[in-house]
Amino acid sequence: MTTISQLSTRPATPEDASALAHIYNQGIEDRSSTFETRPRTAQDIEAWFDGQHPIVVVERDGQVIAFANTSTYRPRDCYAGIAEFSVYVERQVRGTGAGKAAMEALIPAARAAGYWKLLSRVFPENAASRRLLASLGFREVGIYEKHGQLEGIWKDVVIVEKLL
């Protein structure tokens, strides 16, 4: 008999920084969801905890297996209610609902923090993320062509947004 453990979500704390760095570094290694190539340390992640950008984690059996976070979209005052977001899932549990749980926790946390819109950019070939975001009401706004290079190759990104 196989028991499937329940997922739980909660606000992240600086004590989660090592787990978040581990998961984020998997995303960097996989080259499927970020232009970043430099691995992050727990100290790098601790800087995300600025008191104004929600970060949530998903746990299973007391272990952090996914997270979603917000960050500054643009520094101009007119964009103060818009946050960029990211969602990352531990490699071994991708496709099990952890990413959806993270986003379902992040959306109300962002709304409670005063944000009225979330947006991000997704690699066009990242079909799983695009399906997840569409299922949560994010719309694909368009494509930034040749938005950045990853290992010397120009990559496009699909712009996604959700009004909160």
For residue range 90-104, what is the model confidence (pLDDT) as tens digits? 999 999 999 999 999
pLDDT band at 32 (very low <50, low <70, confident <90, very high): confident
How far apart, in whole angstroms, are the C-alpha atoms of residue 23 and residue 27? 7
39: three-class secondary structure by DSSP:
coil
In one letter, which amino acid is 86? Answer: S
What DSSP letter does each residue of 84-95 carry, written as one string?
EEEEEE-GGGTT
In one letter, which amino acid is 52? Answer: Q
Cβ–Cβ < 8 Å for 115, 81: yes
Cβ–Cβ < 8 Å for 23, 64: yes
Radius of gyration for the chain, computed over Cα atoms and rounded to the nearest angstrom: 15
- Residue 118 pLDDT: 98
pTM of the model: 0.94
Residue 103 CB contacts under 8 Å (≥ 6 apart), including other chains: 68, 85, 87, 132, 133, 136
For residue range 35-91, what is the model confidence (pLDDT) as tens digits? 999 999 999 999 999 999 999 999 999 999 999 999 999 999 999 999 999 999 999
With a pLDDT cut of 70, the percent of the chain lying above it is 97
Cβ–Cβ < 8 Å for 35, 84: no
Q: Which residue segments constitute the domains of the chain, with CATH numbers given?
A: 7-120 (3.40.630.30)
For residue range 120-153, what is the model confidence (pLDDT) as tens digits? 999 999 999 999 999 999 999 999 999 999 999 9
